[in-house]
Chain A
Amino acid sequence: MAEFKLKIRRYDPESGAAPYWDEHTVDLEPHRSVLEGILQARNEKDGSIGVRCSCRAAICGSCGVRVNGKPGLACHTHLDDALASAGEDGVIEVEPMGNMPIIKDLIVDMDAVHWKKIQRVTPWLIGKEPVPEREYIVSRESMIDVTQSMACIQCGACVSDCLSMEVDPLFVGPAALAKTYRFVGDPRDAAHEQRLKDLSEDKHGIYDCTHCFKCIEACPKGVAPMNQIMRLRRIAGNDFHIKDRNNGERHEMAFVNNIEKNGILHEADLLPDSYGGKFHPRAVPELIASLPIVVTALLRRKMTPGKALLHPHKAPDGVKRIFEIVEGREERTEFNLYISGTDADNAPNAEVAEAIEATEPAAVAPDGTEGSSA
């Protein structure tokens, strides 16, 4: 047994009092979880600590909290690991998740945010018509493809730390968009295009994600919601050619074409092209709005008119060739490490092979002597 100090964030909105920190010392084996620590404090010290939990085995998704500022499952975080990531005072900080209203202490209102967003994306399979007489036949590869998004246990850790949602509470968000991929990646679903069109046209949909990787870092189940959002964008743009009014697809294509032409990014073209081109009605107000910035940048010689208007850098032939070959392929190659694993992971009995190698007799040289190649 060992002693651990837990500092728990307490808040009861109904009391009218401000949030405060509450410190308790618990006595548990170091490999026990932070959740067990919280429960010991509640059971032995203060019965009023609010915490939600159920399975205690990282599968029900109830005990999402922030430990030392990082979101995760309290039942899936060992006390010794939590201590190692604690501040210099050696106190483990436990707070409720972010981006959601607090009901009490560590319990947040998942209904108000997380579940509303899940419902927003039609989280069920829309079957194809006519319904087959027997079961739908789905290839193994297609189902493996959606296993990563199916691994989600709805704990809300990604929602808690989403930086887009922090400034735009209407953002559909990582969990619901990962759920969307679960159906867009499923060949039995009949509404791929509709789903993508809906979420591309929504200003708070797939193009509202900033690539901040917070959700990938937060997820205790390896769902990597941001990667699922990028897959949705690939399918929306490449397969369904959905030209959304938020300029998501236009920006992507403006960037890709910019590099094909220049090899390195020519920023002066990127902005107008993302709005459809310098003379596009959509671009004109944007360009006028950015005029004061352009003028300041010119005055400070941050950019020169020559650099902005001319294209001094042309893509080398090698770059053009890459675009020709890869963009010319009939099917996109998508290498998903979650599914494929690395060569080292896939080596047949990698550890056994190493052990065998170590015990094998040294190679015999042509002259019959044993030894190294030297």
Chain B
Amino acid sequence: MKVAYWPGCVSRGFTAELHGSMAAVAPMLDIELVELDRANCCGAGVIAEHSQELADTLNARTFALAQQEITKGADLMMNICSTCQGAQSECQQRLDASAEYRAQVNETLSDEGLEYQDGIINKNFLWVLVEEIGLDKLKTLVKQPLTDLRVGPFYGCYIVRPTDRLDINRAQPRDEYLGQVIETLGGTVIDYAGSHKCCGFPIITMNKEASLEQAGRHLGDAVDAEADCLVTPCPLCHLNLDLQQPMASKQVGRELNMPVLHLPQLVGLALGLSPKELGLQHHVVKPTSVIDWSQAVVGGVSGW
């Protein structure tokens, strides 16, 4: 399949290994990425708290650019960031609700010759994996099952709430997809208190203690549940859970050492890519347990 691909900002900035690992994994899943390199930041909810219309117009611009690719044959728009998914869905909900409002936004876009038509399909890589590629297909592609790897899911608020806006329901349990993917890849899903909670990142500059307390508590819960690592579809969560983990550890007064993987990295490992190809060496918390696991399995396969 071919997707109009919005990588987001942080995945090309402080978590460049996310964008890199997505690019490495996509061909193995038969996904052709057409990168929207002229598109802009989704606003991460912060621009919307400054001006809703500004956030809506910026995202309408990204959608319009994606729709140009969809006209040229892409199946849908894909993102790799929970926050992009949530912030863009929020804007899309308003844009799709009213033709009058959409006309006002499109008037602003018209200088650039762009127009957003309602009803774009924009899915996070996690949703694409389960809904477009399918778990059965994914299973057939696994070369190195994550046997005995204990993985805790960490979704990020923006991809699980509010459920009605994100079309999460019993028929489409998008808030359970990470667990389903971990299982399909052969790993063990760890149930712990923090999986659907907030990483604390949005208030890191406003109330640092509370922000790090959130990250530290969830990581600690995962340690207590004996997880080997966490996996997240959100690079902003990754910043607070991995980059800030030494500070979070100080805040909660306990050792954490919990590796946090980006979703394409976990998929890539199971599809047979090496930790290095997936950029795991760039993490602040060294994913030793994960790498030990993958090398042990590689060792097993080659017979020593």
* A interface residues with partner B (beta carbon < 8 Å): 84-85, 163-164, 166-168, 171, 203-204, 207-214, 216-217, 230, 233-234, 237-238, 246-248, 250-253, 255-256, 259, 263-268, 271, 274-275, 290, 292-293, 296-297, 300-303, 307, 315-319, 321-323, 325-327, 329, 332-335, 337, 340-343
Contacts and interface: CB of A to CB of B under 8 A. Distances in A.
Closest 9 CB pairs of A and B: A213-B161, A265-B9, A318-B112, A342-B97, A212-B198, A167-B213, A168-B210, A274-B205, A264-B9
A171 B213 CA distance: 14
A293 B244 contact: yes
A234 B50 CA distance: 5
Interface residues of B, number: 70
B52 A265 contact: no
24 contacts: A168-B207, A203-B207, A210-B200, A210-B203, A211-B158, A217-B162, A238-B51, A255-B43, A256-B54, A263-B41, A267-B9, A267-B10, A267-B14, A275-B205, A293-B247, A300-B281, A302-B14, A302-B16, A302-B282, A303-B13, A303-B14, A322-B108, A322-B109, A332-B52
Given A238-B50, A322-B54, A335 B94 contact: yes
A11 B189 CA distance: 31
Main secondary structure of the interface of A (DSSP, over half): helix
A84 B43 CA distance: 36
B107 to A, nearest CB: 8
Contacts of A207: 203, 206-207
B98 interface: yes
Contacts of A246: 206-207
B93 interface: yes
A213 B205 CA distance: 19
A255 B203 contact: no
B30 interface: no
A335 B52 contact: yes
Given A171-B210, A214-B198, A248-B206, 7 more contacts: A203-B207, A213-B162, A253-B50, A265-B41, A322-B61, A326-B53, A333-B52
B197 A296 contact: no
A301 B282 contact: yes
Contact of B206 (A208, A264, A302, A325): A208
Nearest to B284: A296
Given A292-B246, A318-B111, A342-B97, A256 B284 contact: no
B284 A333 contact: no
Nearest to A302: B282
B34 interface: no
Nearest to A332: B51
A274 B50 CA distance: 14
A279 B300 CA distance: 55
Interface string B144-166: 00000000000001100111000
B197 to A, nearest CB: 6
Contacts of A274: 205
B114 A318 contact: yes
- Interface of B, secondary structure class, is helix
B217 interface: yes
Nearest to B15: A302
Contacts of A252: 46, 49-50
Nearest to B51: A332
A188 to B, nearest CB: 25
B72 interface: no
A250 B46 CA distance: 11
Instruction: Give the most central of A256, A326, A334: most B CB within 10 Å.
Output: A326
A341 B198 CA distance: 29
B48 interface: yes
A263 B108 CA distance: 16
B40 A211 contact: no
A264 B299 CA distance: 42
B13 A266 contact: yes
Given A168-B210, A248-B206, A259-B58, A335 B162 contact: no
B104 interface: yes
B56 to A, nearest CB: 8
A307 B14 CA distance: 9
Contacts of A340: 97-98
A170 B267 CA distance: 41
A259 B161 contact: no
Contacts of B162: 213, 216-217
Interface in B24-55: 38, 40-41, 43-54
B51 A230 contact: no
Contacts of A301: 281-282
Contacts of B96: 342
A307 B13 contact: yes
A101 B170 CA distance: 32
B46 A213 contact: no
B99 interface: yes
A277 to B, nearest CB: 13
Given A247-B205, A326-B53, A214 B161 contact: yes
A351 to B, nearest CB: 19
A334 B52 contact: yes
Contact of B43 (A163, A204, A259, A341): A259
Nearest to B46: A255
A315 B54 contact: no
